[in-house]
Amino acid sequence: MPKFLHLILGAVLASLLFSGCTKKSGLDYGLKVEETLRINLQQEPPSLDWHKSSDTTSAMIEYNIMDGLTDYNLNDPELGLKPALAESWTSSNNSKTWTFTLRKDVKWTDGKPFEAQHVIDGWKRILNPETASIYAYFLFTVKNAEKFNKGEIKDFSKVGVSINDKGQLVVELEAPQSYFPSLLTHHATYPIRLDVVEKFGTQWTDPENIQTLGAYKLKIWDHDKAIVLERNDDYYGDKAKIKYVYGYMINEFSTAMGLFESGRLDFQDSIPANDIQRMKSEPTFRTSPLLGTYYYGFNARKKPFNDVLVRKAFVHAVDRSQITTLLGGDMSPLKAWVPKGMFGYEETIGLDFDPEKAKKLLKEAGYSDVSKFPRVVLGFNSNENHQRVAENYQAQIKKNLGISVEIQSEEWKVYLDRLRNDTPDIYRLGWLADYPDPDNFLNLMTKASENNHTGWSNSKFDELIQRGSSVADKEERRSIYIRAQRLLTEEDVPVNPIYSMVAHFLVSDRVKDFPNNSLSKIELKGVSFK
Amino acid sequence: MREVIQRGAPIPLILFLTSVVWTFLGNDLPQTLLLAFLGSTLFYFLFYVIEKNMGAYVLRRFLEAGFTIFVIATMTFLLLRVIPGGPFDEEKALPPAVKANIEAKYGLDDPLWKQYANYMGGLLQGDLGESYKYVGRPITEIIGSALPNSIQLGVYALLVAYLLGLPLGVIAASRHGTWVDSAMMVTAISGVSLPSFLVAPLFVILFSFTLNWLEPALWMGPSYYILPMVVLGIRPAAGIARLTRASVLEVIQSDFIRTAKSKGLSERNILFKHVLRNSLIPVLSLAGPMIAGILTGSFIIELIFAIPGLAKHMVQSVTNRDYPLVLGATLLFAFLLVLANLISDLIIAMIDPRVKFS
């Protein structure tokens, strides 16, 4: 026996030595580096079922393998829409009825032609209560859709979507909605091949089963390891320039950084604040504005923030540019509510940094002796950046108002639970656009919104938002949203906007035309190698 | 017959090492090899259990293990419900109707006792449920695809630990009191004290980025395996070296070695035939706790080297409040730990005649 053992141990040692000089490409599945774009997805996409997924990683893959009826024109600074599966659309009945003319030359990856029925199948599926889709509410503005999702209506033909005799898709809404077509860019509204879903059950998203119609198709999905997309040569639009996309699932930033800097990765998203300074001077470093607002909300249900004077005093007491400088990125201070770069943004809206005025307002509110000011807690979810912002905020309030703010951080879901049940006096949150329309941001602070944790509401504000979503004229809408923002950030002030978010990412030297837009939409078909 | 069987005793070990080498070279483990290994191990396990009359003992240990796992399952299930924040609480609050549909789908609207009964019922049938986060993927499948990578890493690290630790310890003991001894023990102590989150990046910088010998991360073949397995194996290797040294020194001073020496046996003969065999007992008994250490230590290694193993599920499932996945991963770890301890106890029982069972 010892002889045997020696032999095997020897083999182990020998292979240890040998293995130092085996394959080096870093690409599995026989792919060649020259024709493969290597990106880091950072995590396993939780689901490629576009009616069930609710996260950005899955959405990014889905966006590249599927198309919606409409798409964003990413070259347009105001992010208008462009045709995708629908070649044109019209509205009638004061934006309450929408008619979409669909392309006739689109084929699924198995060669079957795309039809209007696939859209209806998709909507029926996502609204079906049994599908239990998180994004079902995206279509709640469609007539009877919410009732169908609640199970109050069983007959889907009562839901406001149908095919007319010209083969067009006709959508009837509950109420006028001028931006309805932009909802159809979202993966929740994509068409689907019900025959495939029914045949394969939960396995329908496996590469050998899935049917898609986008610029790329799913080639390999090696769970927790890699995803490989391959160019769809039968795509109806401009064909993708790079043949393969290899998605890694590396969660640890320093690991991904090592791979990127040693030339093993072409794209790395999200850079920690600490590394931004170091990376900023690199030619691979990219910045793009993001349609997102980072803000603090006040709990207006109880003392001291039930008093608008105190809220105003706190907003006036904080110099936002200190915070953005501290974070080191290229985010810009935000006084208004709608982020920079979005329709409805207006620089003049909001309260300025003015410590003298802040002190005066505090006195007016009856706190001439700040030692009598109640204990104030600022809550946020544990994160290095949020911590730094909170500490700076704490220091500024201390310096400019003489008030001590206690900061408390909690794990994300614990924090969410607290926001809903026992809102801190001041709370941190952010909002990223679901669709690039001010309604998406302002709706957040209406009385009915589940995301308004301030306890503040104003029927005048709610009315404005209601009107804004139904008006079709662009300039009229703009003035409505400016009015609403003034009410929110200058008059009632339940929130303290801090900055407009930005995205930082790295793109390797060999890559050309990598997308850079404020929606963080990574459309890979236009990307090529130098 | 018994002779023949006993002579074949190294078969599981040979199959095991063959599997290790085969997978290490970047190949998939063939089903037949795995089955042959498991089958032969089971055969010898049963053979020894019967031969050494340990049936009652083993049965008792298994029952204890089952009970431990039941307790862990119950505790984990309840603790998860105590933590604030549910699986479908997101930043963008869901409309109540949508949330109700989701809760109905996963049975989260049932009373807690019913959810518990359903889960335990499923568990008895080997059904761990479906993930909330990875929509539609059964927990068994998620664990099934991650576990082999974790086991692979763990086994390699364990081999590194023994291959490095045993010789170091023996050499140090046989050169007791010399500079060789001191040098080795200093190395061992630094090995124990250096945290892997420091060693890992240092090794990566040296062996991947500077020397360009090995891959800095991922899990695709031999050049990817070496760094993580060495980093993970270093700490237990140091522990083994120290223990081996102490144990060898103790055995060397015992009476039967003096007898052997006085009979005129050669140094070499004494060391390999008498000293080693006896001093291995405490070292092997360390295997149980050490496997536990490697399992838990592998968390950070898997994250640093982006190895698609269980670590990230273990960590992220809690953050996501993915109840079925947290439970599945916890139970798996509990099972592995209980199993590792059981095995190391049995190994000792087999090689150390002084151990008695009741």
B204 found inside a domain: yes
Which chain A residue is nearest to residue B147, measuring alpha carbons?
Answer: A224
The 10s digit of each residue's pLDDT in A251-269 is: 888 899 889 988 999 999 8
Of A464, A447, A463, A461, give the one whose Cα is nearest residue A492: A461
Question: Phi/psi zone of residue B305: left (φ > 0), alpha (ψ -120 to 50 degrees), beta?
Answer: alpha
Chain-centroid distance, C-alpha B177: 34
Q: Where are the alpha helices (DSSP H) in A265-307?
A: 273-279
B61 found inside a domain: no
- Please judge whether A19 and B133 are an interchain contact, meaning their C-beta atoms are less than 8 angstroms apart: no
- Give the per-residue pLDDT at A300: 96
How near does any CA of chain B get to the CA of A501, in Å?
16
Over residues A133-139, the mean pLDDT reads 92
- Give the per-residue pLDDT at A8: 52
Before A494, cis peptide (omega within 30)?
no
- Give the per-residue pLDDT at A366: 93
Task: At B33, list the tokens.
Answer: 């090899």
The answer to whether residues B99 and B291 touch, using CB atoms and an 8 Å cutoff, is no
pLDDT at B305 over 90: yes
pLDDT at A351 over 90: yes
Of A193-202, A408-417, B193-202, minimum mean pLDDT range: B193-202
Is the minimum CB–CB distance between A140 and chain B shorter than 8 Å?
A: yes
Over residues A60-67, the mean pLDDT reads 96
Provide, as residue numbers in chain A, all residues whose Cβ is less than 8 Å from the Cβ of B13: 5
Q: Which residue has the higher pLDDT, B92 or A359?
A: A359
Q: Which residue has the higher pLDDT, A274 or A154?
A: A154
How near does any CA of chain A get to the CA of B308, in Å?
6
Provide, as residue numbers in chain B, all residues whose Cβ is less than 8 Å from the Cβ of A223: 137, 142, 145, 308
- Please judge whether B306 and A248 are an interchain contact, meaning their C-beta atoms are less than 8 angstroms apart: yes
Radius of gyration of chain B (CA): 24
Is the minimum CB–CB distance between A134 and chain B shorter than 8 Å?
A: yes
Can you tell me the distance from the alpha carbon of B339 to that of B287, in angstroms, rounded to the nearest whole number?
A: 11
Q: Which residue has the higher pLDDT, B269 or A452?
A: A452
Residues in contact with B105: Cβ distance below 8 Å, sequence separation at least 6, in sequence order: A130, A132
- Tell me the pLDDT band of B357, cut-offs 50, 70 and 90: low
Provide, as residue numbers in chain B, all residues whose Cβ is less than 8 Å from the Cβ of A133: 98, 101
Over residues A90-101, the mean pLDDT reads 92
Task: Identify the top-confidence range among A326-330, A438-442, B95-99.
Answer: A438-442
- Tell me the pLDDT band of A467, cut-offs 50, 70 and 90: very high
Provide, as residue numbers in chain B, all residues whose Cβ is less than 8 Å from the Cβ of A293: none
- Give the per-residue pLDDT at A133: 93
pLDDT at A423 over 50: yes
- Give the per-residue pLDDT at A7: 53
B34 found inside a domain: no
Over residues B329-344, the mean pLDDT reads 86
- Give the per-residue pLDDT at A21: 40
Provide, as residue numbers in chain B, all residues whose Cβ is less than 8 Å from the Cβ of A130: 101, 105
Which chain A residue is nearest to residue B219, measuring alpha carbons?
Answer: A225
Q: Which residue has the higher pLDDT, A4 or B310?
A: B310
Of A40-44, A67-71, A503-507, B348-352, minimum mean pLDDT range: B348-352
pLDDT at B353 over 70: no
- Give the per-residue pLDDT at A218: 97
- Give the per-residue pLDDT at A168: 96
The 10s digit of each residue's pLDDT in B76-131 is: 999 999 988 889 888 888 888 899 999 999 999 999 999 999 999 999 998 999 99
Provide, as residue numbers in chain A, all residues whose Cβ is less than 8 Å from the Cβ of B24: 12, 15, 19
Provide, as residue numbers in chain B, all residues whose Cβ is less than 8 Å from the Cβ of A450: 93-95
Q: Which of B14, B98, B214 to mutate to test the interface with A (most CBs of A within 10 A)?
A: B98
Which chain A residue is nearest to residue B310, measuring alpha carbons?
Answer: A224
CB atoms within 10 A of CB B255: 7
Is the minimum CB–CB distance between A413 and chain B shorter than 8 Å?
A: yes
Over residues A264-289, the mean pLDDT reads 87
- Tell me the pLDDT band of A17, cut-offs 50, 70 and 90: very low
pLDDT at A422 over 70: yes
Can you tell me the distance from the alpha carbon of B287 to that of B264, in angstroms, rounded to the nearest whole number?
A: 34
B194 found inside a domain: yes
- Give the per-residue pLDDT at B253: 83
| Positive/negative CA dihedral, B316, B318, B319, B323 | positive
- Give the per-residue pLDDT at A444: 92
Burial of A386-398, coded b for 16+ CB within 10 Å and e otherwise, reads bebbbebbbebbe
Q: Which of A134, A147, A220, A228 to mutate to test the interface with B (most CBs of B within 10 A)?
A: A134
- Give the per-residue pLDDT at B268: 79
Is the minimum CB–CB distance between B57 and chain A shorter than 8 Å?
A: no
Interface A-B, measured as beta-carbon pairs within 8 A, has a size of 177
Q: What is the pTM of this model?
A: 0.88
How near does any CA of chain B get to the CA of A360, in Å?
36
- Please judge whether B163 and A8 are an interchain contact, meaning their C-beta atoms are less than 8 angstroms apart: no
Q: Tell me the residues of chain A between 190 and 219 that have a Cβ less than 8 Å away from chain B.
A: 202
- Please judge whether B221 and A23 are an interchain contact, meaning their C-beta atoms are less than 8 angstroms apart: yes
Is the minimum CB–CB distance between B211 and chain A shorter than 8 Å?
A: no
Q: Pick A4's closest partner by Cβ from B14, B93, B101.
A: B14
How near does any CA of chain A get to the CA of B66, in Å?
30
B207 found inside a domain: yes
Provide the residue range defining the domain that includes B248. Answer: 146-351
Is the minimum CB–CB distance between B209 and chain A shorter than 8 Å?
A: yes
pLDDT at A22 over 50: no
- Tell me the pLDDT band of A103, cut-offs 50, 70 and 90: very high
- Tell me the pLDDT band of A292, cut-offs 50, 70 and 90: very high
Provide, as residue numbers in chain B, all residues whose Cβ is less than 8 Å from the Cβ of A24: 215, 223
Is the minimum CB–CB distance between B94 and chain A shorter than 8 Å?
A: yes
- Give the per-residue pLDDT at A11: 53
- Tell me the pLDDT band of A26, cut-offs 50, 70 and 90: low
- Please judge whether A47 and B135 are an interchain contact, meaning their C-beta atoms are less than 8 angstroms apart: yes
Q: What is the mean pLDDT of chain A?
A: 91
Which chain B residue is nearest to residue A23, measuring alpha carbons?
Answer: B223
How near does any CA of chain B get to the CA of A224, in Å?
6
- Please judge whether B17 and A9 are an interchain contact, meaning their C-beta atoms are less than 8 angstroms apart: yes
Strand partners, A376: A405
Q: Pick B217's closest partner by Cβ from A5, A23, A255.
A: A255
The 10s digit of each residue's pLDDT in A221-231 is: 999 899 999 99
Q: What is the mean pLDDT of chain B?
A: 87
Percentage of chain A beyond pLDDT 90 is 75
- Give the per-residue pLDDT at A75: 81
- Give the per-residue pLDDT at A324: 93
Over residues A272-296, the mean pLDDT reads 88
- Tell me the pLDDT band of A23, cut-offs 50, 70 and 90: very low
- Please judge whether A24 and B215 are an interchain contact, meaning their C-beta atoms are less than 8 angstroms apart: yes
Is the minimum CB–CB distance between A133 and chain B shorter than 8 Å?
A: yes
Q: Tell me the residues of chain A between 425 and 444 that have a Cβ less than 8 Å away from chain B.
A: 429-430, 434
CB atoms within 10 A of CB A78: 10
Q: Which residue has the higher pLDDT, A58 or B44?
A: A58
- Tell me the pLDDT band of A104, cut-offs 50, 70 and 90: very high
- Tell me the pLDDT band of A24, cut-offs 50, 70 and 90: very low
Can you tell me the distance from the alpha carbon of A222 to that of A209, in angstroms, rounded to the nearest whole number?
A: 14
- Please judge whether A11 and B214 are an interchain contact, meaning their C-beta atoms are less than 8 angstroms apart: no
Three-state secondary structure string covering B12-71: HHHHHHHHHHHHHCCCCCCHHHHHHHHHHHHHHHHHHHHHCCCHHHHHHHHHHHHHHHHH
| Residue B173, domain CATH | 1.10.3720.10
Number of compact structural domains in chain B: 1
Over residues A205-225, the mean pLDDT reads 95
B104 found inside a domain: no
Q: Tell me the residues of chain B between 150 and 169 that have a Cβ less than 8 Å away from chain A.
A: 159, 163
Is the minimum CB–CB distance between A149 and chain B shorter than 8 Å?
A: yes
Of A13-27, A150-164, B223-237, B306-320, minimum mean pLDDT range: A13-27
B57 found inside a domain: no
Q: Tell me the residues of chain A between 347 and 386 that have a Cβ less than 8 Å away from chain B.
A: none
Question: Looking at this protein, which amino acid is placed at residue A190?
Answer: Y
Q: Pick B215's closest partner by Cβ from A26, A223, A417.
A: A26
Over residues B188-212, the mean pLDDT reads 87
The DSSP 8-state label assigned to residue A30 in this structure reads T
Provide, as residue numbers in chain A, all residues whose Cβ is less than 8 Å from the Cβ of B20: 12
B258 found inside a domain: yes
Provide, as residue numbers in chain B, all residues whose Cβ is less than 8 Å from the Cβ of A28: 220
Strand partners, A71: A82
